[in-house]
């Protein structure tokens, strides 16, 4: 057995802990750029906290998923104002934006020097500027990952988009502050899509071909918390205990995906998110039970002795709370949850049957697809997308 495990970010968790940000950030520097994806009122209170700690605050509004343009804008603001601390405040988009800016603040040249696929793919040489991640959603776990997913134009493809990564172990946040009170105002639709993203990021590492004992333990505990909290958080957003459990589950999902592979859900999510600008969590949510079904069917047909069967059964037992639950019961539980949380089909984002071959082609090359517990054929991948429309 061989594996590596990275968890270098300092984590502060608990209701009210966001109020500590000014005092802590002042130990890192004096001029702060905040990549903010929160309403103006929330940002105002946050900026006041930083100001009271003697920090000068500069704001970058992040209203979409990270793009090359918004990160370049943030890099320019940071350098023009000599910012020495970067904060990502919001969902995964704001955190990934801040994470990318922090890396560029201490490394020479343009973003394209370091981007995969469409850039030069050069390795980041220097540790990022001090970066603090403060999530206000419970889903991506971006506060403890070492990459930023960025939407960029595909060269010579008439404005079509692709999602690519900026990644390096040197991009880890110096600090993550997880305050469940910041998630109490999340709309039900965002609670659903982000929460199901966390669920996906707990199931996929657990059944991936790179699972290890440490991620296994984290995934089991995260699944247990999601099973009892996500529906409650969706239907009663003010339930602090449910919000706490979902924020812990999201955190655990980020640690798990950073230390084990993902799978076909995320293999699809990157090209779909780029081509249709669909929210990552909602795409994952729609695909999750369909990929679970396709994997189990493929294992039944080609690898009947694969120990992943047992892992899918364990997932089902945790989610349902039944010791006699089967893998089929787990699929049914997830499908019921997706239905109850009103996750739309992919056609809502503009995807059509004729688009399926292109998406399958892109997804088959995605790094996440390499972690799937069994290699799915193009026909199987196409069937998943057809059902997801």
Residue 175, SS3 per DSSP? strand
159 pLDDT tier (thresholds 50, 70, 90): low
Percent of the chain with pLDDT over 90: 84
Return the higher-pLDDT residue of 120 and 24.
Answer: 24
Tell me the pLDDT tens digit for each residue of 105-131: 999 988 999 998 788 889 999 999 999
Taking residues 352-370, report their average pLDDT.
Answer: 92
Q: Specify the pLDDT at position 162.
A: 80
Q: State the architecture of 10-182 in CATH terms.
A: 3-Layer(aba) Sandwich (3.40)
Q: Specify the pLDDT at position 155.
A: 64
Return the higher-pLDDT residue of 40 and 222.
Answer: 222
Percent of the chain with pLDDT over 70: 98
Q: Of 171, 146, 167, 92, nearest to 257 (Cα)? A: 146
Tell me the pLDDT tens digit for each residue of 283-340: 999 999 999 999 999 999 999 889 999 999 999 999 999 999 999 999 999 999 999 9
Tell me the pLDDT tens digit for each residue of 129-152: 999 999 999 999 999 999 999 988
Taking residues 172-183, report their average pLDDT.
Answer: 96
Q: Of 201, 242, 235, nearest to 218 (Cα)? A: 201
Q: What is the rounded distance in angstroms from the CA atom of residue 194 to the CA atom of residue 65? A: 13
Q: Specify the pLDDT at position 156.
A: 56
Return the higher-pLDDT residue of 165 and 180.
Answer: 180
Q: Specify the pLDDT at position 276.
A: 85
Give me the chain's average pLDDT, please.
93
2 pLDDT tier (thresholds 50, 70, 90): confident
List, by residue range, all CATH 1.20.1090.10 domains of the chain: 185-388
Taking residues 4-26, report their average pLDDT.
Answer: 91
Q: What is the rounded distance in angstroms from the CA atom of residue 60 to the CA atom of residue 73? A: 8
Identify the H or E element spanning 59: strand 56-61
List, by residue range, all CATH 3.40.50.1970 domains of the chain: 10-182
pTM of the model: 0.94
Q: Is the pLDDT of residue 352 over 60?
A: yes
The answer regarding whether domain 185-388 maps to CATH 1.20.210.10 reads no
Which DSSP letter does residue 348 get?
G
Helices (H), the chain: 21-25, 40-52, 68-80, 92-105, 188-207, 213-235, 240-259, 264-276, 280-302, 308-320, 327-340, 356-365, 378-388
């Amino acid at each position: 057995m061989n594996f590596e495990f990275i968890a270098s970010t300092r984590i502060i968790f608990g209701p009210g802990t966001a109020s500590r940000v000014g005092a802590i950030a002042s130990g890192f520097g004096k001029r702060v750029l905040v990549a903010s994806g929160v309403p103006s009122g929330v940002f105002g209170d946050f900026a006041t906290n930083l100001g009271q700690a003697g920090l000068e605050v500069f704001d970058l509004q992040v209203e979409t998923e990270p793009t090359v343009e918004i990160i370049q804008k943030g890099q320019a603001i940071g350098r023009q104002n000599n910012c020495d601390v970067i904060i990502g405040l919001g969902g995964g988009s704001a955190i990934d934006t801040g994470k990318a800016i922090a890396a560029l603040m201490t490394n020479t040249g343009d973003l394209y020097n370091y981007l995969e696929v469409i850039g030069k793919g050069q390795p980041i040489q220097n540790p990022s500027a001090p970066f603090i991640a403060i999530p206000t959603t419970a889903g991506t776990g971006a506060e403890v990952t070492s990459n930023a997913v960025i939407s960029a134009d595909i060269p010579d493809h008439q404005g079509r988009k692709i999602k690519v990564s900026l990644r390096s172990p040197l991009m880890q946040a110096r600090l993550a502050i997880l305050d469940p009170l910041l998630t109490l105002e999340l709309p039900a639709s965002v609670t659903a899509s982000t929460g199901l993203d966390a669920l996906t990021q707990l199931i996929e590492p657990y059944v991936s071909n790179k699972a290890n004992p440490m991620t296994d333990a984290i995934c089991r505990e995260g699944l247990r918390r999601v099973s009892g909290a996500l529906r409650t958080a969706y239907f009663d957003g003010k339930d602090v205990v449910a919000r706490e459990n979902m924020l812990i589950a999201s955190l655990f999902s980020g640690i798990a995906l950073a230390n084990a592979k993902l799978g076909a859900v995320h293999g699809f999510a990157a090209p779909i998110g780029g081509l249709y600008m669909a929210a990552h969590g909602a795409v994952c949510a729609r695909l999750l039970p369909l990929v679970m079904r396709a994997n189990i069917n493929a294992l039944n047909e080609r690898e009947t002795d694969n120990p992943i069967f047992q892992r899918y059964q364990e997932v089902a037992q945790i989610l349902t709370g039944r010791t006699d639950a089967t893998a089929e019961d787990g699929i049914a539980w997830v499908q019921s949850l997706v239905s109850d949380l009103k996750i739309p089909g992919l056609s809502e984002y503009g995807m059509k049957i004729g688009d399926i071959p292109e998406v399958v082609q892109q997804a088959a090359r995605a790094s996440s697809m390499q972690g799937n517990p069994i290699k799915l054929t193009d026909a199987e991948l196409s069937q998943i997308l057809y059902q997801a429309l």
